[in-house]
């Protein structure tokens, strides 16, 4: 089964907690702190693998989690970092962040990779909290949580030349004749249910050609196989528009040409900017290139700026000339690469430096004053509520953040209740050791 779309959840490893421990030495208060830092959580890395052809593996497994960092240890020993998780996907996979809809990475090169979710930072051990006043800190920092996000994987074929056109016009036959591949071919619509690739070889070079599933009217809106395969055309450098010039399906060749062109234009994504050759296939059924029907079709299409090549794929008539023209166009594109990618990408730098991380927000819930914040939550979870020094460290952070001042502006008075997470305490004007 050819699977070219998948949605998975990735979770990076949690950072290890800092350790609370004390040296066993005489004349040192509480033995002196020597708790080590926690290890960093493992990253989730997405890597392109040229040996994969489909996203089938992600059809059944939906969640991928990296290893957590190890907690810190006594004697200032650091916890071991969590092992990174490498998720391998086919070359040509676009990774999209579902929440923002932005592209995280377009993996077009074999072995190309990126960090899709960074592991949490390890927490500091209690050795870091010793000062002239606090000689024996009985608390340490918890590790940062891992990052969880839902990502969309979308596989787009990487081919130099793409074959487009109505179903049953001979695209598969052309691919078979030009590349010596053996795609399934039959006399019915939608023979090609999955894209096929083949290599067109020349004495000194070659190019990859793809047979894209047949397009029908309304394909850009998802009708037929529609969007399932239109996206595979996006990466191609050159298009060959295959038309059944004999009208063997009972359709008018010129109308077929115009309808497919309209679908490509409606789909957008820069497809109409690609060089296009038109293959007038099944020319033998018309009696050759001198037939009135062919000349009428050729004249109308070439007036629109597209060169027309007569073709009969099964008997290789006109095949060499068409493939040479395609190679010339591929070489032209390679010599003059398209404009810079103008797609909108995910901002990893902004994601790594959350401007709201240290912000403490305050509001009233009935008669209770509530304080919330990402860093506040981390400090709260690191607090030893049986230790006065640890409680004071939490309180001082709340005070220094400006939260107490904001609460006073809202009417906070001594004896009122302040809540952080699920912990409530009474506010005292003089909270000191």
Q: Is there a single domain that holds both residue 300 and residue 200?
A: yes
Q: Is there a single domain that holds both residue 194 and residue 282?
A: yes
369 belongs to a structural domain: yes
Q: Is there a single domain that holds both residue 120 and residue 203?
A: no
234 belongs to a structural domain: yes
pLDDT reported for residue 153: 93
Q: Is there a single domain that holds both residue 144 and residue 276?
A: no
Token digits for 224? 């037929």
342 belongs to a structural domain: no
Highest mean pLDDT, choosing among 28-37, 182-191, 250-259: 250-259
pLDDT at 406 over 60: yes
Q: Tokens 């591949």 identify what position?
A: 181
Highest mean pLDDT, choosing among 121-130, 157-166, 383-392: 121-130
Highest mean pLDDT, choosing among 94-108, 128-142, 191-205: 94-108
Q: Is there a single domain that holds both residue 131 and residue 113?
A: yes
CATH code of the domain covering residue 105: 2.70.210.12
Q: Is there a single domain that holds both residue 89 and residue 189?
A: no
What distance in Å separates the CA atoms of residue 65 and residue 272, rounded to the nearest whole number? 41
Please tell me the total count of domains within the chain. Answer: 3
Q: Is there a single domain that holds both residue 165 and residue 141?
A: no
Split at pLDDT 50, 70, 90, the class of 185 is very low
Q: List CB contacts of 315: < 8 A, sequence separation 6 or more.
A: 284
Summarize the confidence of residues 112-132 as an average pLDDT. Answer: 91
Per DSSP, what are the bridge partners of residue 208?
199
pLDDT reported for residue 222: 42
37 belongs to a structural domain: yes
CATH code of the domain covering residue 309: 3.40.50.300
Q: In the predicted model, what is the mean pLDDT of the chain?
A: 85
Please give the residue that has the higher pLDDT: either 228 or 196: 196
What distance in Å separates the CA atoms of residue 232 and residue 212, rounded to the nearest whole number? 7
432 belongs to a structural domain: no
pLDDT reported for residue 420: 92
H or E stretch at 176: helix 171-179
100 belongs to a structural domain: yes
Split at pLDDT 50, 70, 90, the class of 97 is very high
What distance in Å separates the CA atoms of residue 212 and residue 241, rounded to the nearest whole number? 11
Q: Which of 300, 335, 370 is the last residue of a domain?
A: 335
199 belongs to a structural domain: yes
pLDDT reported for residue 30: 57
pLDDT at 215 over 60: no
pLDDT reported for residue 187: 41
DSSP state of 38: P
pLDDT reported for residue 391: 84
pLDDT reported for residue 196: 77
Q: Is there a single domain that holds both residue 175 and residue 298?
A: yes
Q: Is there a single domain that holds both residue 116 and residue 198?
A: no
CATH code of the domain covering residue 403: 3.30.300.350
Q: For 287-310, how does the pLDDT look when each residue is reduced to its tens digit (9 = 90+)?
A: 888 899 999 999 999 999 999 999
Q: Is there a single domain that holds both residue 273 and residue 222?
A: yes
* 82: containing domain: 5-155
Q: Is there a single domain that holds both residue 258 and residue 383?
A: no
Q: Which of 132, 155, 178 is the last residue of a domain?
A: 155
CA 284 to chain centre: 47
Q: For 339-359, how does the pLDDT look when each residue is reduced to its tens digit (9 = 90+)?
A: 666 678 888 888 887 777 888
Q: List CB contacts of 215: < 8 A, sequence separation 6 or more.
A: 164, 165, 166, 167, 224, 225, 226, 229, 230, 260, 263, 264
Lowest mean pLDDT among 174-188, 219-233, 258-272, 281-295: 219-233
Asked if residues 52 and 132 have their Cβ atoms less than 8 Å apart, the reply is no
Q: For 261-274, how does the pLDDT look when each residue is reduced to its tens digit (9 = 90+)?
A: 988 888 877 888 89
What distance in Å separates the CA atoms of residue 324 and residue 251, rounded to the nearest whole number? 29
Alpha helices in 268-347, H assignment, sequence order: 292-302, 319-335
Q: Tokens 């005070």 identify what position?
A: 399
Q: Is there a single domain that holds both residue 175 and residue 268?
A: yes
The pairing of strands 361-365 and 276-281 is unpaired
Token digits for 31? 């033995």
Maximum C-alpha span of the chain: 108
343 belongs to a structural domain: no
Q: List CB contacts of 244: < 8 A, sequence separation 6 or more.
A: 165, 166, 168, 169, 170, 251, 253, 256, 281, 282
pLDDT reported for residue 229: 57
pLDDT reported for residue 1: 45
Q: What percentage of the chain has pLDDT greater than the value 70?
A: 88
Summarize the confidence of residues 279-284 as an average pLDDT. Answer: 93
Percentages helix, strand, coil for the chain (3-state, rounded to 5) are 25, 25, 50
Summarize the confidence of residues 84-111 as an average pLDDT. Answer: 92
Q: Which of 125, 155, 185 is the last residue of a domain?
A: 155
């Amino acid at each position: 089964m050819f699977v070219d779309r998948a949605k998975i959840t990735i979770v990076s490893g949690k950072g290890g907690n800092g350790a609370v421990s004390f040296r066993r030495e005489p004349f040192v208060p509480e033995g002196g702190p020597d708790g080590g830092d926690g290890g960093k959580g493992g990253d989730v890395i997405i890597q392109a693998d040229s040996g994969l052809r489909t996203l089938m593996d992600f059809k059944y497994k939906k969640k991928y989690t990296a290893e957590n960092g190890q907690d810190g240890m006594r004697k200032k020993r650091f916890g071991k970092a969590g092992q990174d998780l490498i998720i391998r996907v086919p070359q040509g996979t676009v990774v999209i962040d579902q929440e923002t809809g932005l592209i995280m990475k377009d993996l077009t090169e074999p072995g190309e990779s990126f960090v899709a979710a960074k592991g949490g930072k390890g927490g500091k051990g209690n050795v870091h909290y010793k000062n002239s006043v606090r000689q024996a800190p009985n608390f340490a920092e918890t590790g940062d949580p891992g990052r969880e996000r839902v990502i969309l994987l979308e596989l787009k074929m990487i081919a130099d030349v793409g074959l487009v056109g109505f179903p049953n016009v001979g695209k598969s036959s052309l691919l078979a004749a030009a590349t010596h591949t053996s795609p399934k071919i039959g006399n019915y619509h939608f023979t090609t249910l999955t894209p096929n690739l083949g290599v067109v070889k020349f004495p000194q070079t070659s190019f990859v050609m793809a047979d894209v599933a047949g397009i029908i009217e309304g394909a850009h809106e998802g009708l037929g196989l529609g969007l399932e395969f239109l996206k595979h055309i996006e990466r191609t450098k050159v298009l060959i528009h295959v038309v059944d010039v004999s009208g063997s399906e009972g359709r008018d060749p010129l109308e077929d040409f115009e309808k497919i062109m309209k679908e490509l234009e409606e789909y957008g994504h820069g497809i109409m900017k690609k060089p296009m050759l038109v293959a007038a296939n099944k020319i033998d059924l018309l009696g050759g290139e001198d037939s009135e029907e062919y000349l009428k079709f050729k004249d109308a299409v070439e007036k629109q700026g597209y060169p027309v090549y007569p073709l009969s794929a099964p008997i290789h008539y006109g095949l060499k000339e068409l493939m040479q023209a395609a190679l010339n166009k591929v070489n032209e594109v390679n010599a003059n690469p398209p404009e810079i990618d103008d797609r909108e990408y995910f901002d990893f730098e902004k994601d790594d430096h959350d401007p709201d991380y240290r912000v403490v927000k305050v509001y009233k819930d009935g008669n209770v004053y509530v304080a919330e914040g990402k860093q506040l939550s981390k400090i709260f979870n690191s607090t030893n509520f049986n230790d006065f020094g640890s409680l004071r460290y939490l309180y001082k952070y709340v005070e220094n953040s400006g939260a107490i001042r904001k609460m006073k502006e809202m009417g906070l008075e001594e004896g009122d209740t302040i809540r952080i997470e699920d912990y409530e305490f009474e506010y005292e004007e003089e909270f000191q050791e």
